[in-house]
Amino acid sequence: MEKVGVIGAGAMGSALLERLKLAGAQVIAYDPVPQALAAARALGAESAPSAEAVGRAATIIDVVVRSDQDMLDCMMGGEGLLEGVRPGSLILLHSTILPQTTRKVADAARRRGVDVIDACMVGVPKVVRAGDLSFLVGGPAELVERARPHLLRMGRQLLHMGPLGAGNVAKLIKNLVTGSETLIIHEAIQIGQAAGIPYRDALEMMRQVYSGTILNRWQESFDPSGAGPMPRAGHSVFVKDIPLVAELARHCGLDLPITQGLAAAGKRLVKAKAS
């Protein structure tokens, strides 16, 4: 069994450590925050003084840091992981970062005989602890298969999205959809409230009449053959309903950029379909 290294023992990293402890994995961990490193030790991990030291000890390494710059720093900065990692090791980048950052790290690692894949996480810490984490993975198939047993000790499913960086892209567009829903609901309840509907009543109304996400039936609105991404339905909503909502918002004196942008985008989409 490969020895596991974990860099980053914050909220998500510590949740992964809990899953690895349940699986009986041998783990060495590093975090620059002393309290986080102490929490990793409490979960049974051996502590390391640096990311470089993790690289010297482990053969499969999970990197769970917050930002693109954090990733570059912990990988290629002073006492970074690539200073100590051994040839033949596999590094899994779990952070929500740009695919360009992943490829930059992978290029530097490749020069040292080390492999890198992106394995982005879909789930919050409580989801991880419950064993329901999903991984969106990018990289060569043989490396994904090497990582599969390890990843499935921490989560319930692995979706191989394509080449290196595809996991990053998948996580970003998934978060785009999730975040956009919250933002447009925020604008919708502002319109309702300005027109006399208390926002809590508007939210409860939408909950009760909600017909479910389009993703549960995407084949009805998008071409399942893969011939193109243009929506096949929604002409009336795009041409009439959303522009009416945008007009209502203006009448209410509201500046709602997402609603106005959607009205314009819907009209462009219908025009493009007709051409």
Write out the two tokens for 74. 């912990």
Q: What is the DSSP letter of 275?
A: -
Classify residue 79 as left (phi > 0), alpha (psi -120 to 50) or beta: left
**171 in active site:** yes
Residue 258 has φ and ψ, to the nearest 5°, of: -70, -45
How many CB atoms sit inside 10 A of residue 160's CB?
20
Place of tokens 């053969």: 59
> What's the CA gap between 116 and 267, in Å, rounded?
43
Which pairing describes strands 4-7 and 60-63: parallel, antiparallel, or unpaired?
A: parallel
Q: Which of 171, 174, 240, 267 is catalytic?
A: 171
Q: Which residues of 98-128 are buried (b: 16+ CB within 10 A; e: fewer)?
A: ebebbbbbbebbeeeebbbbbbbbbbebebb
> What's the CA gap between 5 and 179, in Å, rounded?
32
CB proximity list for 272: less than 8 A, separation 6 or greater: 230
Closest CA to 113 of 89, 141, 83: 89
Q: List the beta bridge partners of residue 30.
A: 7
Catalytic residue numbers?
171
